[in-house]
Every structure is written in C-alpha cells, then in structure tokens.
Amino acid sequence: MTYSLNFAAVWRSFDLLLQGLALSLGLALVAILAGCVIGLITAFGLVSKSVVLRKPAGLYVTIIRNTPILVLVLFSYFALPELGVRLGKIESFVVTLAIYSGAYLAEVFRGGLIAIPPGQREAGLAIGLSEMQIRTSIIIPLMLRNVLPSLGSTMISLFKDTSLAAAIAVPELTFEARKINVETFRVIETWIVASCLYVATCSLLAALMRAVERRLAVPR
Amino acid sequence: MTNLLEIRDLHKRYGTVEVLKGVDCSMRQGEVISIIGSSGSGKTTMLRCINMLEEFQGGTISIDGQEIGYETVGGVRRRKPEREIARQRALTGMAFQQFNLFPHMTAAGNVMLGLVKVKKMSRDEARGLAEKWLDRVGLLSRKDHYPGQLSGGQQQRVAIARAIAMNPKLMLFDEVTSALDPELVNEVLQVIKGLAEDGMSMLIVTHEMRFAYEVSSRVIFMNQGRIGEEGDPREMFLKPKTERLAEFLKTSTFN
C-alpha cells in the first residue's frame, strides 16, 4: 500500500464539484416536479373505473419501470435523434428522468389513493361536491399525507439517479468528479468527496421531507 | 300539494342479485320515517339510491316533484349529467354509519367545505354558519378540533352538523349509531330528536327500536327488498300485522 491520501488537488477543484452538485439538484428538481404531475395524472388513470384510462396508464408504468434508467437515458440521447427527436444533453436527460419519475411516483400515488376509505368520496358527494372538487379538496390532500414517507425515499432515489447523466456528458456532480479524477489521479479522494456531497444532500432532503411530514400530520 | 319524496317501483340490482324489488313510498314535508329490518333487507340501499350514491335500474325517485338521477328522453332512460346529479344530491343531507368526516380538516372546516365549494359562500359567512350548527349539536367548543381528537359520538354530531348546514330538504340517516360505543349513542339520538322537533323531514335507517318508536311519525319495515309493512309506530311495534315483522321484533332488542 503505497497510496497516501492528499486532498489538496481535490479542494482546488472543489468549486467544480459544487457546480456539478448544483446542476444535479436542478435536474432533479425539474424532473421530479414534472414527474409529480405525470405521476398524479397516471395514478388517477391506474385507479380509474374506465379501461380506456386504466390500460394506457398501466402500459406506461410497466414499460418505464421495467427498463433500466441508464438504457432510457442512452436511448433518448442516442436513438431518438435518429427518429427525428433532437434534444440537447440536459433537456434530453431532464425529460427522460421526468418520464421515469412519473412511472415510479404514479405507483407511489396509487398506493396512497387506494388507502383512502370510499366513505370519504361518498361524504363529499353527499354534500353536493363534484368529482373534481372531491379530488382537490379531499382525495389529493389525504393521498399526499399517506405517501409522504415513501415519497421522500423515492425523491432521494431520483436525485441519485441524476448521476447517470454523466453517461451522456451532462456536467453534473458525477461527471465533474470523474473529470477531476482523470486530471489529478487522486482517485480515492475524489470519489470520497463526491460521495460525501451526495450523502449530505440526500440527508438534507430526508430531513426536509420529515419536516413536511410533521407539518402536515393530522392532529389526533 | 306534491309530496316531498315520492318513490315508485324502485328496482336495484347488484349484477344479477336484486336487492330492491319494487319499493313504493311517499313522504310529506316534516315527516320522520324510520326504516327497520334485518341486514340485507335493502334499507340502506334504498336510502343510498335517494342521493344517487347507488345507481338504480328501475322506477323513479322524486324530491319536490323533480326526478332524481335519471331522465327519460325519447323513451330511453339515461343518467342525468353529473353536474345536475351533484345539485340534486344537495337537496338531501346524509349522515353515515362511519361518520366519514374529513380527517385533515377541523370540525368547523368539515362543516364549511360544502358551504364554500357548493353554496359559494364567503369563508366568513360559512364560518358563521358552521359555528351556529356546531353550537346546535353542542360542539362549538370543539370547532378547532380534528376528527381524530373527537369521540365517536362527537364525530357523528359534527357529521350531522355538516349535513344540516347545507340546508337540505330531507335528511338521510344511515345507521348513525351502529358504530358507536353504547354510552355514546344517546348524545347522537338527542341531536336527531331535536331536529325532529324542529320539523326537519327525516328518513332514518336504524336498529334502535326504542328510538324509532319514540321519534317516528311512521315506520317502514323492509323485508327481502320490499316494504313488508308500514304504519304508525305504536301499532306496528305493539300489534304487527305480518308474521315477518313479528319475528323481526322478537329478535331485536327494544331498549
């Protein structure tokens, strides 16, 4: 064992890592927000009585959830242009992660929806609310409370999945770390620092979600 | 003068199982009718058809002369538009066996929701009315409590306030005391009695025979999807005309 640790080279490029982290967070934020919208609509499709809504929603979830995200990322960036869909690196990745998040979040939301007793909808109907008013005032607020714990861990997973953008040279945290690794040959130090940045960010995310959970908890 | 509620030849099937086999019933403004009968006799189903929580395949239900849920156009019976059905549902109020309060809203919030979203009241106006009705059911001091912080009896009283605040023409009570601990039953029955004294029109599905006896102007005994017997509570409970009702009363506790 002749390797001696020397972090100095990594610290010199630390701002590159931070820029990478900022981009990672940005990618995750946009993709997850879009994914929440896609997931919510899909989840209502999944629990719908209508086959016309249920089947396409189910097909989407099946295809996307059963394909590795790396394959989806590579497909979007390398194969789609051949089919006439040309997007920049960042756009291509964000769209892919959004579609991927949508499928996972749809399943999370579906779990939260089926846990709501049917009496809640009936009570809404009985006072004359429309189905849409019942959704916005009763079903979605209750569903969100049901899913917060699993939503937090799904979001953390999705944030970590931004590291796959390195495969198509999006300059996020993992990509920057690899660049520093290659330039400085400080392989252990670089990856330790990069890992610490991921751990710290994810812990922060988890704490944030806990706070939201506490804030929205129904008093009893 | 048209009856408040007019049910004619009501038929309801779940798949191939017919649960209502032609029910006829009319009710005047201000009447309090208790519906009794063993489980599976169709009494809850009948109640749930009146506010379209259940679809029905035959017959008509009218409230104040307007047909509920379905219309016949060119000889074809079809479901009315959902917006129209929602409006018709607000003609009635319903209290459920399981209360079904919205757990993420306070007692006042539960009562206000329909006032704001359906009646389009301002929040201040709705809050005033919610407080008035919570006071009426004896729970003004609990207005900022969440359902999870209330006893079963208190939750049911809030649920009744939520329904009544919408100013329905007819209140539907679906076994409202069945899920309650025995010592909490009375506070809910007292609230219903108070509403009866105010002249509220009510249809009450219940297993509380003593209560049905005391509060009702008329009792309907449901048996196997049909009305088995109906009439004045005193006569029905003391001198049942049919074997079926006599049997049923023998197996129910009258306390």
The verdict on B114 touching A (C-beta cutoff 8 Å) is yes
The complex's ipTM works out to: 0.94
Q: Looking at beta carbons, which residues of chain A come within 8 Å of B114?
A: 127-129
Nearest to A10 by CA among A24, A172, A18, A2: A18
Does the beta carbon of B87 lie under 8 angstroms from any beta carbon of chain A?
yes
- Alpha-carbon distance B94 to nearest alpha carbon in chain A (angstroms): 6
Give the orientation angle of helix A118-126 with respect to helix B152-164, to 10 degrees: 30
Q: Cα–Cα distance between A202 and A199 in angstroms, integer?
A: 5
- What pLDDT shows up at residue A20? 95
Partners of residue B44 in chain A, C-beta under 8 Å: none
Q: Which of A119, A129, A219 sits opposite B100 (nearest CB)?
A: A119
In this predicted structure, what is the pLDDT of residue B254?
Answer: 67
Q: Mean pLDDT for each consecutive 10-residue tract of chain B (255 residues)?
A: 91 94 95 94 96 96 95 92 95 97 98 97 97 96 97 97 97 95 93 95 94 93 94 92 91 72
For residue A106, what are the contacts with CB-CB under 8 A and spacing of at least 6?
A38, A39, A40, A42, A43, A46, A57, A60, A61
pLDDT at B1: 64
Contact, B83 vs B156, CB < 8 A?
A: no
Cβ pair A128:B149 closer than 8 A = no
Q: Which residues 47-76 of B have a C-beta within 8 angstroms of A?
A: 51-53
CB of B216 less than 8 A from some CB of A: no
Please tell me the distance from the alpha carbon of residue B126 to that of residue B33, in angstroms, as a whole number. 30
**Whether residue A1 has pLDDT greater than 70:** no
Contact of B29 with B200, CB cutoff 8 Å: no
Q: Does B149 touch chain A (CB under 8 A)?
A: yes
Distance in angstroms (rounded) separating the CA atoms of residues A80 and A92 = 9
Q: Which residue has the higher pLDDT, B159 or A220?
A: B159
Q: Which residue has the higher pLDDT, A167 or B252?
A: A167
Is pLDDT larger for residue A104 or for residue B252? A104
Looking at residue A4, its pLDDT comes to: 82
Whether the CB of A123 is below 8 Å from some CB of chain B: the reply is: yes
Predicted local confidence at residue A11, as pLDDT: 87
Structural Rg of chain B based on CA atoms: 18
pLDDT at B152: 96
Q: Which residues of A87-105 are buried (b: 16+ CB within 10 A; e: fewer)?
A: eeebebbbbbbbbbbbbbb
For residue A85, what is the DSSP state? -
Express each pLDDT in A30-59 by its tens digit: 999 999 999 999 999 999 999 999 999 999
Q: What's the pLDDT score for residue B181?
A: 92
Identity of residue B93: G
Contact status of A52 with chain B (Cβ, < 8 Å): no
Residues of B within 8 A of A129 (CB-CB) are: 86, 113-114, 117-118
Q: CA–CA separation, B191 vs A178, rounded Å? A: 72
Closest CA to B165 of B212, B216, B117: B117
